Amino acid sequence: MCGIWALFGSDECLSVQCLSAMKIAHRGPDAFRFENVNGFTNCCFGFHRLAVVDQLYGMQPIRVKKFPYLWLCYNGEIYNFKQLQKQFGFEYQTLVDGEVILHLYNRGGIEQTASMLDGVFSFILLDTANRKVFLARDTYGVRPLFKVDDLLLEKAAEKYPFNPPRTKESYYYRQIFEKHYPGRSSWLPHYWMPRWVKATDPSARTLKHYKSATQE
């Protein structure tokens, strides 16, 4: 897995932005890149890499000479990238399977791109020529992707006064819960964890606390 991160429209200083990007450093221990988009203020990408393929050109955001206006941050595995290359005659410049996203988008737009990908993935695609940003993930969210406005997180305590979420990931999960079980936040007094476990993260990463709690 890798960690992909992007920020658009923030007035925070560079150091604050970097600190935000470093919150997902655990997803990619091999390398890190933080890059501002040329000609666009308050627009930047962060990437934490777990190196698997293409040691030389595998860093992100992915950019190729043929499409200088496209920026891509991608995580996952596209199973049919070679099949698509053969079908449409794409000329890849890297060995990264996610490069196919750039070629598909240039050929037929974002909807066709999403419909033709077979795999587990999440990505952030910036089209500077048309000033558009696209976020996408696989159907089941095997590769997670979260979009939360900083202002929403700041007001999370007002919207969810009982056990308010403190991270963008927990805010995302809380939205899903409230959608299916409105008004039943009392079910969540301990983030789905035993009372004796100090957990601040609602995701499966806190499962390690179960082991430590039983051993103590």
Report the number of distinct structural domains present in the chain.
Answer: 2
Same structural domain, 199 and 99:
no
Helices (DSSP H) in 22-165: which residue ranges?
Answer: 81-88, 100-116, 150-154, 156-159
Mean pLDDT score of the chain: 77
Residues pairing with 18 in the sheet: none
- State the CB neighbour count (10 A cutoff) for residue 10: 14
Does 154 or 57 have the greater pLDDT score?
154
Q: How far apart are CA 195 and CA 158, in angstroms?
A: 24
Same structural domain, 118 and 182:
no
Same structural domain, 125 and 177:
no
pLDDT score recorded for residue 34: 73
Residues pairing with 121 in the sheet: 76
Q: How far apart are CA 203 and CA 184, in angstroms?
A: 19
DSSP code of residue 60: S
CB 49 within 8 A of CB 2: yes
Q: Which amino acid is at 107?
A: R
The model's pLDDT over 9-61, given as tens digits with 9 standing for 90+, comes to: 766 666 677 776 777 677 776 766 777 787 777 788 877 766 666 555 667 78
Q: With pLDDT > 90 as the criterion, what percentage of the chain qualifies? A: 26
The model's pLDDT over 177-206, given as tens digits with 9 standing for 90+, comes to: 888 888 777 666 555 555 555 555 555 454
Relative orientation angle of helices 81-88 and 100-116, to the nearest 10 degrees: 100
Same structural domain, 22 and 75:
yes
Same structural domain, 38 and 9:
yes
Same structural domain, 37 and 133:
yes
Domain that holds residue 178: 155-215
Q: Give the active site residues.
A: 2
Identify whether 129 is part of a domain.
yes
pLDDT exceeds cutoff 80 at 168: no
Identify whether 36 is part of a domain.
yes
Identify whether 78 is part of a domain.
yes
